[in-house]
Amino acid sequence: MKSATLPNVNGQKVRFSVYWWVPLLAVLAALPAVFSLSGFADYLNYVAVRIMILALYAMSFDIVYGYAGMFSLGHAAFLGGGAYVAGILTRQLGLDIQDTLPVLLAAALFGVVLGWVMGFLASRLASPLAVLLVTFAVAETLGLFVMADPLRITSADNGIPGIPRETLGWIIGIETEVGFYYVVLVILSLSYVALRAITRSPFGDALLAIRENRLRASFLGYRVTHYQIAAFMVSGLFGSLAGALTAFHEQSCSPEIFNFFVSGDAFIYTVLGGAGTLFGPLLGTTIMIVAQEVIGDIFHNWLFFLGLIYIGLIMFMPGGLYPLILARFTHDENSCMQDTAPRS
Amino acid sequence: MNITMLSLQTMNGLTIAAIYILLASGLTIVLGMQGIINTAHGFFYMLGAYIGFTLISRTGLGFWLCLPAAFAVCALLGAGLEASGIRTLTKWNRGHVHQVVLTLGFAIVGTEVVKFIWGTVPQSTSLPSILRGAMVIGPIVYPKYWLFVIGFSFSIMVALWIFFNWTGLGILVRSIDINREASETLGTNAPLLTTIIFGLGTGIAGVAGVLAGPILGVDPNMGFELLMVLFVVIILGGLGSLMGTIASGVLIGLIIAYGTMLLSGLAAKILVFGVMIVILIFRPSGLLGRGTAIE
Amino acid sequence: MSKKDQKAAVNRRTFIKMGSGALVAVGSNWFLPKIVLGSDDEIRLGAMAALSGPVAPFGTEQANGIKLAVDLYNESGGINGRKIKLLQEDTESKKDVGFAVTRRLVERDKVHFLTGVCLSSIVLAIQPYIKEKKTIFVNSNSGNDILVKPPHCNRYYFKELISAWTITLAIQEPAKRIGKKWYFLADNYTHGKEIVDHAKRSLKSAVPDAEIVGEDFPNLGESNYAPYLTKIMAAQPDGLFIGVIGAGYVRSIKQARQMGLNCHIHTFCWFHDLAKAIGDGIVGSSTAALYMPDNPEVPRARKIADEYKKRFGHWPGTMAGEGFNGVECIFEAVKKAGTTDTEPVIETMESMEYTNTILSPSFRFRKADHQAIRALYTAEVTKDPTFTYGLKILRYQPHPTEYLTPESETGCESHMKP
């Protein structure tokens, strides 16, 4: 059963054609112009940027979950960690940092280190429940520290307001919503290309092999724990990058970003789109954020619908949307119900 | 710090432990013996507390009748969840992650429904009259009701232990755990038994909710707050091991009580996570667990 | 995966098609700004309150109070002949959601005024934004004093709730009557620590030889306070100051009484709904009262409370009163100014004296940092036939300003310019 479900969507068989990318990017690049026709362009740009940042976050989760097959319920630690690195560096230490680039790099570095810690702990555990608990504990502990603020740098529950957002690389102005939109679009595209290269490299194949059968992979000579730690480090890099972008986007950060619902969001975005596909999380995030905007606006009870989505997704569409769409375009009926998500 | 203070804190630790153990027992039989991760367990605990609150304050039904009532409602609802959702997932050969998400979704929806019915304002139930007041034991004075909770929790654990070791039904359940296919070949109706045991677990959670109402109050977030600590308790104790659950529940309760006394509440919480991580790495099957944890 | 499941997937696809059709229909509703749906003659009031999440009990009451105030205005003919349209949003007790819905209200719905919000993290995030958009925001439920300190204070932000420093003055009256040894218990977060610091100062200034026998900061939302209560009992204080909010407020007091802690309890603020959950253990304790439904000095308060009870089925608590007053602060000024234009309204709010509010006989915002100068009642909790638990006033301070930074030293001048 297990070996039969090796995904063909992220492998060689089916591939989202490169020609799709040009129009897709063109549409995304033209979006701010479309938005400007409405009376509230800034807000629409704001939501679009939120989608892109959270898509990056979900993609980083896909590396750990979809490719390496470890269910982390502590992914919020990366997002929150990145956001707080940005907040602390720009506001709390009295440093005079004028530009966002060094902050983004620092956040990414932080993510790599935190990824090592989480990966180190997770790779030593056999059962998925244990991985889930330990990753959760890491995020919860970080959240507790931020709330308790023993070093007087996180300003506890008040969070850090007024995070400046002026330039990127001392040249590109990102103060306006539109400017920031394009910068985030470029970062997201580059991250996607990088992550795709990583997952299609021998490293990515090894991760899949470990995900499908950890024991067999180790017999083949793969050092399983090293690969798992590396997966967490890659994931942490992009997750914390997304976190720092969130802080710049909202120009503030606050402790509920470590909440386990934020970790759960990463899972839902990923699985709704299709885990182990890298493009799926993008799709899933878009749908979920738009749904949250609309449902939250009309019914004022987002959580109820979120719960229904959890149930419906797992019962009826565990493979996610992207494989369904792919099947439509490739007329490959077999791939439509492929459960690309890891089974354990 | 004197002997009175120390024994009082020990009793506090045991009271905390009693509720943890009662809740964790339902979780551990479901997870350890059937391999189902039920993240909605906290929801059933909360639901039980609300049922107790409503019956006691609105209908005047006595505390003692609320216990079986909450048990029945939560057990039926739990059995329904198992039969309609989790059983299908098992049939489709889905993994634990899918169970986590399904039960979590159920818990989120259920919590919203509870909020809709009862509102978000914390409530609390009043004590049964014979358990009001305090009792003198040796050097300390301790609330009667809290002692009752410790005793009640202990007797439920004994009853469960007898059930799984001495009754035919309990032995059948264990046979499924040991080898599901062989047991089914010999005529065991495994899906039905799984549903029953799942219902038993959630029913106990409901009872724990009624018990906790007068001490911890009743509010919609009470289930999620405790859920993670419960997983820590059952993992530490070793999945499916009732004795292990008691041992780890007491350990965690005492860590919280002494940690709060000597350090701070924050330190106690982090200490619990720390102990969990260390034990998971060096003893993956828990304190009294057999073999490895679930795969 | 069996063949049967694959077949089902085709149906699922049609299902998804139908679903997306429905989504487009709902989505178009979202896209239509509320301004199109209503008439331009209306005054649009945006209200952000936590209707879900950890502070939902506060947020729901606050939202009810806001709604009642708007409804009463509309029923009496509106403001200067214009109706008020209330646009309510849920912050989900989260900063990112709170910030996003604020932007939606301002940019899409083009609201004239904003009110609501209790979490200070959300307020801090939206303060720079409302300054940029020049939209008046009357924040009705955040006590945190950092909000009116530079660099956060600004011309468009008004803090309606009492200062977290001033509210602790209520400990003085019971301290004079009860005794010298006090223990402090508060949540482990900024506001909890802040009120403990100031309560100690208030205590020392009223009773110079008061002794602080201990202090503890349990985690926010702690479920079992027994380990702390044991420590408190060992310290044998005369009075216990409780600065715990939400479910912890119920649990800590209830468990204290169960464990046999019989010392005097002073709670930092009065929460009527939570008091009912505690039961008779709360009777005899003292508290700071900001809003009393049967305040003898403001006869109007009782009428409003009856109206509230009629519409929402329960008596209003502090948060409802504050939410109500926040709306009145805006619209009384609009009435007086005769316009909804931002600058005249701000100037009116800065200069006007609100009389006969439901909180107290008088109320005003001071010009220097836009924080409320308002009354503080110290009260004792009693059994009451109407409200289950009522309040008996021990001390009334019309305008306590002991702990406020003098108006000349706020440092907000540069932030207050138009």
Instruction: Give me the residue from C30, C31, C94 closest to A256, CB to CB.
Output: C94
Q: Which of residues 240-269 of A touch C (CB under 8 A)?
A: 246, 250-257
Which residues of chain A lie closer than 8 angstroms to B108, CB-CB? Answer: 303-304, 306-307, 310
Please indicate whether, in this complex, the C-beta atoms of B112 and A1 are within 8 angstroms of each other.
no
Please indicate whether, in this complex, the C-beta atoms of A158 and C146 are within 8 angstroms of each other.
yes
Look at residues C166, C172, C165 and name the one whose alpha carbon lies nearest to residue C239.
C172
Beta bridge partners of A160: A253
Contact (CB, 8 A) for B44 and B71: no
pLDDT of residue A228: 94
DSSP state of C364: E
pLDDT of residue C11: 55
Residue with the bigger pLDDT between A342 and A115: it is A115
Query: Which candidate in B82, B86, B97 is best for mutational testing of the A interface (most A CBs within 10 A)?
Result: B97
| CA–centroid distance for C379 within its chain | 19
Q: Could you tell me the CA-to-CA distances from A113 to A199, B103, C48 in Å, in that order? A: 20, 33, 38
Q: Is the pLDDT of residue C173 over 60?
A: yes
What percent of chain A stands above pLDDT 90? 45
Which residues of chain B lie closer than 8 angstroms to A344, CB-CB? Answer: 95-97, 295
Residue C72, token pair as written in the block? 């009463």
Residue A123, token pair as written in the block? 């790779």
Please tell me if residue C64 touches chain A, with a CB cutoff of 8 Å.
no
For the stretch A66-114, pLDDT in tens is 999 898 989 999 999 999 999 999 988 888 888 899 999 999 999 999 9
Residue B291, token pair as written in the block? 């073999």
Instruction: Give me the residue from B105, B228, B292 closest to A311, CB to CB.
Output: B105
Q: Is the peptide bond before B68 cis (omega within 30 degrees of 0)?
A: no
Look at residues C173, C129, C185, C174 and name the one whose alpha carbon lies nearest to residue C154.
C129
Q: Is the pLDDT of residue A17 over 80?
A: no
CA C39/CA C41 separation, integer angstroms:
5
- Laid out side by side, the sheet with C362-365 consists of C354-355, C362-365, C372-374
Contact (CB, 8 A) for B43 and B223: yes
Instruction: Determine the distance in angstroms separating the CA of C241 from the nearest CA of chain B, rounded to an integer.
Output: 18
pLDDT of residue C8: 43
What percent of chain C stands above pLDDT 90? 50
Please indicate whether, in this complex, the C-beta atoms of C250 and B217 are within 8 angstroms of each other.
yes
CA C148/CA C165 separation, integer angstroms:
12
Please tell me if residue B270 touches chain A, with a CB cutoff of 8 Å.
yes
pLDDT of residue A341: 46
pLDDT of residue B34: 79
Please indicate whether, in this complex, the C-beta atoms of B219 and C231 are within 8 angstroms of each other.
no
Q: Is the pLDDT of residue A5 over 70?
A: no
Contact (CB, 8 A) for B258 and B9: yes
Please identify every stretch of chain B with a pLDDT value under 70, giving residue numbers as ranges.
1, 289-295
pLDDT of residue C416: 87
- The band of C352, judged by pLDDT with boundaries at 50, 70 and 90, is very high
Strand, helix or coil at C216? strand
Torsion angle in degrees (nearest 10) through CA of A255, A256, A258, A262: -150
Residue A5, token pair as written in the block? 């479900």
Q: Which of residues 166-225 of C touch A (CB under 8 A)?
A: 188-191, 219-220
Q: Is the pLDDT of residue A243 over 90?
A: yes
- Contact residues for A281 (Cβ-Cβ < 8 A; gap 6+): A55, A58, A59, A61, A62, A269, A270, A273, A275
Q: Taking an 8 Å Cβ-Cβ cutoff, which residues of chain C contact chain B?
A: 1, 5, 52, 54, 56-57, 60, 188, 216-219, 221-224, 226-228, 230-231, 233-234, 246-247, 249-251, 254-255, 258-260, 273-274, 277-279
pLDDT of residue C322: 94
Instruction: Give me the residue from B37, B108, B292 closest to A126, CB to CB.
Output: B292
Please tell me if residue B94 touches chain A, with a CB cutoff of 8 Å.
yes
For the stretch C242-253, pLDDT in tens is 999 888 899 999
Instruction: Determine the distance in angstroms separating the CA of B32 from the nearest CA of chain A, rounded to an integer.
Output: 12
Instruction: Give me the residue from A140, A306, A310 closest to B273, CB to CB.
Output: A140
- The band of C18, judged by pLDDT with boundaries at 50, 70 and 90, is low
pTM of the model: 0.89
Q: Is the pLDDT of residue A216 over 80?
A: yes
Q: Which of residues 162-191 of A touch B (CB under 8 A)?
A: none
Please indicate whether, in this complex, the C-beta atoms of B100 and A71 are within 8 angstroms of each other.
yes
Please indicate whether, in this complex, the C-beta atoms of B228 and A136 are within 8 angstroms of each other.
yes
Name the residue with tokens 């609201």: C111
Please indicate whether, in this complex, the C-beta atoms of A161 and C100 are within 8 angstroms of each other.
no
**Searching chain C, which residue's CA lies closest to the CA of residue A256?**
C94
Residue B236, token pair as written in the block? 């530490």
Residue C406's Cβ-count burial label (10 Å; 0-12, 13-18, 19+) is exposed
Give all strands (DSSP E) within C69-168, no chain letters: 84-90, 113-116, 136-139, 157-159
Please indicate whether, in this complex, the C-beta atoms of C30 and A297 are within 8 angstroms of each other.
yes
Q: Which of residues 139-168 of C touch A (CB under 8 A)?
A: 144, 146, 151-152
Residue with the bigger pLDDT between C193 and A247: it is A247
Please indicate whether, in this complex, the C-beta atoms of C223 and B222 are within 8 angstroms of each other.
yes
Q: Is the pLDDT of residue C39 over 90?
A: no
**Searching chain C, which residue's CA lies closest to the CA of residue A246?**
C96
What percent of chain A stands above pLDDT 70? 89
Please tell me if residue A2 touches chain B, with a CB cutoff of 8 Å.
no
Which residues of chain B lie closer than 8 angstroms to C278, CB-CB? Answer: 124
Please indicate whether, in this complex, the C-beta atoms of A43 and C108 are within 8 angstroms of each other.
yes
Residue with the bigger pLDDT between C156 and C188: it is C156
Helices (H), C156-218: 172-178, 190-206
Q: What is the ipTM of this complex?
A: 0.86
Instruction: Give me the residue from A159, A321, A328 closest to C121, CB to CB.
Output: A159
Q: How many residue contacts between B and C have a Cβ separation below 8 Å?
A: 109
Chains that touch C (3 or more CB pairs under 8 A): A, B
Beta-strand relationship, C157-159 and C136-139: parallel
Query: Which candidate in B115, B121, B136, B149 is best for mutational testing of the C interface (most C CBs within 10 A)?
Result: B121
Contact (CB, 8 A) for A119 and A232: yes
Please tell me if residue A150 touches chain C, with a CB cutoff of 8 Å.
no
Please tell me if residue A47 touches chain C, with a CB cutoff of 8 Å.
yes
Contact (CB, 8 A) for C230 and B5: yes
Residue B182, token pair as written in the block? 């062989």
Please indicate whether, in this complex, the C-beta atoms of B102 and A315 are within 8 angstroms of each other.
yes
Which residues of chain B lie closer than 8 angstroms to A137, CB-CB? Answer: 228, 273, 276-277
For the stretch C220-271, pLDDT in tens is 878 889 889 988 988 899 999 999 988 889 999 999 988 888 899 999 999 9
pLDDT of residue B224: 81
CA C269/CA B193 separation, integer angstroms:
52
pLDDT of residue C399: 87
Instruction: Determine the distance in angstroms separating the CA of A197 from the nearest CA of chain C, rounded to an integer.
Output: 30
Least confident span in A327-336, B27-36, B217-226, C345-354: A327-336
Instruction: Give me the residue from B127, B216, B261 closest to C223, CB to CB.
Output: B216
Instruction: Give me the residue from B120, B145, B256 closest to C258, CB to CB.
Output: B145
Look at residues C182, C186, C206 and name the one whose alpha carbon lies nearest to residue C194.
C186
Please tell me if residue C92 touches chain A, with a CB cutoff of 8 Å.
yes
- The band of A4, judged by pLDDT with boundaries at 50, 70 and 90, is very low
pLDDT of residue C2: 41
For the stretch C117-150, pLDDT in tens is 988 889 999 999 999 999 999 999 888 888 888 8
pLDDT of residue A330: 59
Query: Which candidate in C250, C271, C273, C314 is best for mutational testing of the B interface (most B CBs within 10 A)?
Result: C250
pLDDT of residue C146: 87
Look at residues C254, C227, C224, C223 and name the one whose alpha carbon lies nearest to residue B8.
C227
CA A238/CA A64 separation, integer angstroms:
12
Residue B64: in which H helix or E strand, if any? helix B63-81
Residue C82's Cβ-count burial label (10 Å; 0-12, 13-18, 19+) is middle
Q: Which of residues 82-121 of A touch B (CB under 8 A)?
A: 121
Phi/psi of residue C287, nearest 5 degrees: -160, 165
Instruction: Determine the distance in angstroms separating the CA of A304 from the nearest CA of chain B, rounded to an integer.
Output: 5
Please tell me if residue C415 touches chain A, with a CB cutoff of 8 Å.
no
Please indicate whether, in this complex, the C-beta atoms of C273 and B121 are within 8 angstroms of each other.
yes
Which residues of chain B lie closer than 8 angstroms to C5, CB-CB? Answer: 92
pLDDT of residue C22: 67
